[in-house]
Structure 1
């Protein structure tokens, strides 16, 4: 198994295509959207690789998969697919939900930051949200403006904590740069079996990845009023 089609929400697919620097159908109508060559050199690839790995102890699915109608092509050529929890390309509901939820958290955090930056420059919240949607080519069919507006109104006013810097270019905080595994201090084992559950492992990995700077810092911030 060298390639999989990963179910994802349409607006999150467009968001990932920007940050993973993938060619899209909108850019090259003659071709299909570019696959993502899986790598652990960025937060999204690291999280996906961790979720796809065969768990020592499986996790129960929690959450809805509604809206995961788009597909992100993932090329596994650089990894041994035998290490992944795949059966003829079939992905568990747990993996699909957790990755979508992880990307959505970063998407929203960046949205709140974006709106705050624009409002500080005397822009309206409406214009800020609209410019964010345009920047990532998110249409009303992908995700309604009103949905983003409500999210900003409920959570956008919270002061974001300062993000911790990664210790290395390719690996997040609390992960070994040699193995990509959790540091010994962060490991937690089941008192019954002594085996890490998939849920506990990814919870720790996710916490470390969320502590990294927002992805927007990797791009040129374009402000309409500048």
Structure 2
């Protein structure tokens, strides 16, 4: 079977397990399945772009040593050229960019989650821990203190004062649908021949970041709504 083990950070793996629906129950145990690579979702679309043969200049010097977890990726729906390009040739650029891209959605969801919880009079601490519990994220995956500092700096929370105007929530356009990505595929693909590998992925990333937060795609969220 054509497959690769793609390096990801531990909290990124747990986040993707939920959104890519990679767990199934087998007897008394939860079994983690490989992700069958597809262009139909935001994460799969981004990964397919990064697995293309990169230009020689498409490198990233950032360390990827903290990408200690592995996302199993099944390439059965792709032709031999994709497979040939990934056999032991995963670049630091591809690993960094995919982790960074997914982490942007992870942080945006975290900020939205905390904003909503604080508006209901929850503490920031309880809100962050409930978010970690939702994704089964533990201290060894990413520290609570790391998330707390990020929330304090970037979540745009309202100050706790009486009659204080509410802070702006993370913008979410619920009228958009993930399925809309397939309609954009043609427009993005037309850029491949004229842009560098870096510029191509930058354009793809910009379009994908316009989609609603992935949190709303989970069955758990809808069941509790």
TM-score for both structures, normalised by structure 1:
0.82
**Correspondence for 2:135:** 136
**Correspondence for 1:2:** 2
Q: How far, CA to CA, are the matches of 2:16 and 2:192 in structure 1?
A: 31
Q: Does the 8 A contact of 1:172 with 1:209 survive in 2?
A: no
Q: How far, CA to CA, are the matches of 2:144 and 2:35 in structure 1?
A: 28
Q: How far, CA to CA, are the matches of 2:88 and 2:148 in structure 1?
A: 37
Pairs within 5 Å for 1:71-90: 71-83=70-82, 86-90=85-89
Q: Post-superposition shift, 1:55?
A: 3.4
Given the superposition, is the C-alpha separation of residues 101 and 24 from structure 1 closer, same or farther in structure 2, using an over 3 Å criterion? farther
**Correspondence for 2:91:** 92
What is the root-mean-square deviation of aligned Cα atoms in Å? 3.0
Q: Does the 8 A contact of 1:51 with 1:202 survive in 2?
A: yes
Deviations 1:74-99 (A, max 9, x none): 00001114135725233111000000
Q: Post-superposition shift, 1:57?
A: 5.9
Q: How far, CA to CA, are the matches of 2:176 and 2:11 in structure 1?
A: 27
Pairs within 5 Å for 1:4-83: 4-23=4-23, 33-55=32-54, 58-83=57-82
**Correspondence for 2:163:** none
Pairs within 5 Å for 1:123-202: 123-157=122-156, 159=168, 160-163=170-173, 166=176, 169=179, 171=181, 175-176=184-185, 179=186, 181-182=187-188, 187=191, 195-202=194-201
Deviations 1:111-152 (A, max 9, x none): 000001111111111000000000000001111110000000
Higher helix share: 2
Q: How many residues align?
A: 213
Gaps of 5+ in 2: 158-167
Q: Does the 8 A contact of 1:24 with 1:33 survive in 2?
A: yes
Q: Post-superposition shift, 1:31?
A: 7.2
TM-score for both structures, normalised by structure 2:
0.82
After TM superposition, what 4+ stretches of structure 1 lie above 4 angstroms from structure 2? 27-32, 162-168
